[in-house]
Amino acid sequence: MTKQEANQQCSLDAFMARKAEFDAVLAELQQASVEHFGADPEAVLWGEACWLAGATAKLKDIADQHFRRGEYAP
């Protein structure tokens, strides 16, 4: 195996490890969403709504980076 091939393999291994971690976090968030992030839908208050707005903004920023939208557009 050449140095370049070894480097490529190490890069791929690191990428796949981070992807597995990312997928696990997404699965946790999806389950939390199904459960209304622990909030009682009949007693939700502004704090929960504000927290969810902040979390959504962070996720939108990640999506914008990946899809090169908004401030990340070329």
- Type of residue numbered 59: L
Helix, strand, coil percentages for the chain (3-state, nearest 5): 80, 0, 20
At 28 the pLDDT is 98
Torsion of CA 18, 24, 27, 32, to 10 degrees: -110
Q: Answer for the pair 59, 65: CB distance below 8 angstroms, yes or no.
A: no
* Mean pLDDT score, 17-33: 98
Entry pTM:
0.82
CA within 13 Å, CB half, 21: 6
pLDDT tens-digit map of 28-65: 999 999 999 999 989 999 999 999 999 999 999 999 99
